[in-house]
């Protein structure tokens, strides 16, 4: 299914993005957006889902100069709109332009039997040309799509202590990748060689806590620099979203020019106060990746997970960073 090209101009194509480093709250934010009945939402559809042929094609096409940005934007929208189990993620919500009945079961089946995705596409692809929002955690998405296509976007940033504590928990449980930590010197060389000279000790001497701190600094500084250069985007702090979820959610929908909906209000209430009932809708999802959270508890959970020594090691690396100082100026993390 494609957008009606006679009714929607490329300039008005309702395509938006959410971006944030891993473990910064993008999944919860994405589910808040997805809870709106008029929105089509895609979960990390690009960088890690090259198994989907149309996604692989759009990724390859973005590497060439044989297509205009106008054409690329339309191709991206049309490639992401059809439903696919690798591009969706529970919980599922009632939508005005598609079915809800059986979606969770069909998704689970298609994850095990890829051929069943044809049924998912037929049943759960939205009709018309609804607003489409996708979320990603890889910086390449900004360089290849968000920036050249001028996609209106929301960026989310979480405190270094919260991000690092969450990543360490996932890495120790085998749920989060460790490749960037293992090859951190090469990552720095590829993305910002000058960072090595700004660190208090050589990267080769760092432990996992310190390496994750360096990664946070690299990701956060790059993101803050981009936001300051492109003020048309919106920056949300994860802690602010936790403390004021309804207010921040309304501001996000306003940023996308989409009216706030009661179904989103209900989801926020469920995801922040009714963990058991919502977890029943997250079939096949490890609790580590759940969108259910005690927002008061999760903001400061890192203080019970990190030792005093680990906190000192993190502070030494992140405190001088532009991103951390920027957040302090915004009244965050003090």
Closest CA to 77 of 149, 184, 173, 156: 149
Confidence of residue 47 (pLDDT cuts 50, 70, 90): confident
Domain regions of the chain by residue span: 10-329
**CB-based contact 100:94 (threshold 8 Å):** yes
Question: What does the alpha-carbon distance between residue 10 and residue 1 come to, in Å, rounded to a whole number?
Answer: 17
Residue 184 class from Cβ within 10 Å (0-12 exposed, 13-18 middle, 19+ buried)?
Answer: buried
Per-residue pLDDT, averaged over 73-96, amounts to 95
Segments in 192-321 forming alpha helices (H): 195-198, 208-229, 238-243, 245-255, 262-273, 275-279, 295-299, 302-305, 308-318
Name the token pair of 2.
């494609």
**CB-based contact 272:294 (threshold 8 Å):** yes
Question: What does the alpha-carbon distance between residue 257 and residue 133 come to, in Å, rounded to a whole number?
Answer: 12
Rounded percentage of the chain residues whose pLDDT exceeds 70 = 94
Decide yes or no: CATH 3.40.50 for domain 10-329: yes
Name the token pair of 165.
């504590």
Q: Which of 2-11, 92-101, 257-266 has the lowest mean pLDDT?
A: 2-11
Checking if the pLDDT of 210 tops 90, the result is yes
pLDDT of residue 7: 40
Tens digit of each residue's pLDDT (9 = 90 or more) over 273-328: 755 556 667 777 888 999 988 888 899 999 999 999 999 999 999 999 999 999 99
pLDDT of residue 51: 86
Per-residue pLDDT, averaged over 136-150, amounts to 95
Q: What is the dihedral of CA 96, 130, 38, 19, to 10 degrees?
A: 140
Checking if the pLDDT of 43 tops 60, the result is yes
Name the token pair of 103.
């979606």
């Amino acid at each position: 299914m494609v957008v009606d090209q006679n009714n929607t101009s490329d300039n008005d194509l309702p395509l938006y993005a959410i971006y944030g480093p891993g473990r910064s709250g993008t999944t919860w934010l994405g589910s808040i957006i997805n809870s709106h009945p008029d929105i089509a939402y895609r979960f990390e559809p690009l960088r890690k889902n090259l198994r989907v042929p149309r996604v692989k094609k759009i990724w390859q096409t973005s590497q060439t100069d044989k297509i205009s940005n106008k054409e690329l934007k339309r191709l991206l929208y049309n490639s992401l709109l059809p439903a696919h189990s690798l591009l969706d993620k529970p919980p599922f919500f009632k939508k005005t332009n598609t079915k809800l009945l059986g979606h969770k079961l069909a998704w689970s089946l298609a994850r095990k039997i890829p051929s069943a995705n044809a049924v998912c596409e037929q049943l759960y692809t939205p009709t018309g040309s609804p607003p489409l929002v996708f979320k990603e955690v890889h910086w390449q998405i900004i360089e290849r799509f968000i920036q050249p296509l001028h996609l209106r976007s929301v960026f989310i940033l979480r405190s270094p202590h919260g991000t690092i504590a969450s990543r360490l928990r996932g890495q120790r449980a085998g749920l989060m990748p460790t490749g960037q930590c293992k090859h951190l010197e090469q990552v720095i060389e590829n993305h910002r060689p000058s960072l090595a000279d700004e660190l208090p000790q050589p990267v080769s001497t760092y432990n996992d806590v310190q390496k994750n701190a360096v990664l946070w600094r690299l990701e956060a500084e790059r993101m803050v620099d981009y936001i300051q250069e492109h003020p048309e985007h919106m920056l949300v702090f994860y802690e602010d979203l936790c403390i004021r979820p309804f207010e921040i959610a309304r501001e996000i929908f306003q940023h996308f020019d989409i009216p706030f909906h009661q179904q989103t209000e209900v989801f926020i209430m469920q995801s922040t106060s009714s963990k058991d009932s919502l977890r029943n809708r997250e079939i096949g999802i490890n609790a580590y990746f759940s969108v259910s959270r005690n927002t008061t508890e999760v903001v400061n959970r890192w203080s019970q997970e990190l030792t005093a020594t680990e906190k000192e090691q993190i502070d030494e690396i992140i405190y001088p960073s532009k991103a951390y100082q920027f957040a302090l100026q915004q009244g965050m993390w003090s």
